[in-house]
Amino acid sequence: MRKLFAGLVVVAWAAATPATAADVVPGLLFDMGGKFDKSFNEAAYQGAEAFKKKTGIEYLEFEPTNEAQREQALRRMARRGANIIVGVGFSQTSAIETVAKEYPDVKFTLIDGVTEAPNVQSVVFKEHEGSFLVGMLAAMASKTGKVGFVGGMDIPLIRKFACGYEQGAKHAKDGTEVLVNMTGNTPSAWNDPTKGGELARSQFDRGADVVFAAAGATGVGVYQAAKDGGKLAIGVDSNQNHLHPGTMLSSMVKRVDVAIEEAFTDAMNGEWKSGLKVLGLAEDGVGWALDDNNRALVSAEMESALGAARKAIVAGDIEVADYSAGNSCDY
């Protein structure tokens, strides 16, 4: 009996720990808002799924429902043998900072936040560059000369979207008015579609006819309001054009999926590096989505204007102000 038990333990141990150093056990910690928010977290999920499909390697995952679970979840993954853990969202910053110290042999990748530690890779995006392009698109599609922005939680990251968007709108058409609303000051602002809908409606009432939402699942309400009111909406993070074909003008895509797939793949191949990684238009880390669902809404003129602007930004001829650099929107 004892022998059998010992045998079982060996089998369990063999299954739980990597046989060779090259074996990678990835872990993914989502942000609040949930895996299927059709936006930011869903992009992360798709990245991890793509990795799983290519390599056949399963990953550990966790969706926190309150702040206290973040650190617990990271520790539990590390204890269960994960050697590359990706935390999605700026709110994971302090949790990763703490847990990375406790597990110096585990690699951590933090998306959307920056922290310095020898075993942490921080991936940030130049959201302002992508937002600039969709801002141009919004201004060119608007008939009233007024465009709206609905943010989720009021944090510098979301202000960064708003700032780039405003600049892009004014770049395309001087004098375009940009209405900016934030949903709230707490993480629940990512999950309040009725409030998002009301915010969008208030902007339509004030004359806006295109609205860009950077608000997680709250955005679902914004896009619905645009559809109900016969206005145009712009999605964020994932390509959301398919949600309401005909009223989704485009989506500002942020390739969180690529970043996560890369982190896992690099860790597997031993190419993973700690430090800061910034993905912008030049790296195709951000961009705007054009597919069958919004083809009819985007004219050739818009497309070429955006293409030219993209080139100019990459070349440095257009400088898009980064709100997070000085916590102000000066351009």
Q: Does 154 bind other proteins (CB under 8 A)?
A: yes
Q: Does 36 bind other proteins (CB under 8 A)?
A: yes
Contact 219, 264 (CB under 8 A): no
Q: Does 48 bind other proteins (CB under 8 A)?
A: no
Q: Does 182 bind other proteins (CB under 8 A)?
A: yes
- Residues 6 or more apart whose Cβ sits within 8 Å of residue 168: 131, 132, 133, 134, 135, 136, 137, 138, 139, 309, 320
Q: Does 328 bind other proteins (CB under 8 A)?
A: no
* Residue of 55, 119, 202, 324 that binds other proteins (CB under 8 A): 202
- Residues 6 or more apart whose Cβ sits within 8 Å of residue 157: 90, 112, 127, 324
Which of the stretches 28-36, 100-108, 266-274, 297-305 binds other proteins when contact is defined by CB under 8 A? 28-36
Contact 234, 298 (CB under 8 A): no
Q: Give the whole-angstrom CA distance, residue 289 versus residue 235.
A: 9
For the bound state, the minimum distance from the C-beta of residue 270 to other proteins, rounded and expressed in Å, comes to: 33
Query: Cα-flanking dihedrals φ and ψ of residue 284, to 5°?
Result: 60, 30
- The residues in 285-324 that bind other proteins, with binding defined as CB under 8 A, are none
Q: Does 180 bind other proteins (CB under 8 A)?
A: yes
Which of the stretches 10-18, 29-37, 67-75, 163-171 binds other proteins when contact is defined by CB under 8 A? 29-37
* Residue of 98, 119, 188, 324 that binds other proteins (CB under 8 A): 188
**Cβ closer to other proteins: 29 or 220?**
220
For the bound state, the minimum distance from the C-beta of residue 227 to other proteins, rounded and expressed in Å, comes to: 9
Q: Give the whole-angstrom CA distance, residue 331 versus residue 320.
A: 7
Q: Give the whole-angstrom CA distance, residue 272 versus residue 264.
A: 8
For the bound state, the minimum distance from the C-beta of residue 314 to other proteins, rounded and expressed in Å, comes to: 31
Q: Does 243 bind other proteins (CB under 8 A)?
A: yes
**CA-closest candidate to residue 151, choices 326, 330, 323, 325:** 323
Lookup: tokens for 107: 């690699």
Q: Report which secondary-structure segment, H or E, holds 266.
A: helix 256-269
For the bound state, the minimum distance from the C-beta of residue 11 to other proteins, rounded and expressed in Å, comes to: 31
Q: Which residues is 283 bridged to in the sheet?
A: none
Q: Does 89 bind other proteins (CB under 8 A)?
A: no
* Residue of 224, 238, 251, 265 that binds other proteins (CB under 8 A): 224
- Residues 6 or more apart whose Cβ sits within 8 Å of residue 277: 121, 122, 123, 124, 259
**Cβ closer to other proteins: 205 or 301?**
205
* Residue of 61, 63, 97, 303 that binds other proteins (CB under 8 A): 63
Binding site for other proteins (CB under 8 A): 34-36, 63, 154, 179-182, 184-185, 188, 191-195, 197-199, 201-202, 205-206, 217, 220-221, 224, 228, 243
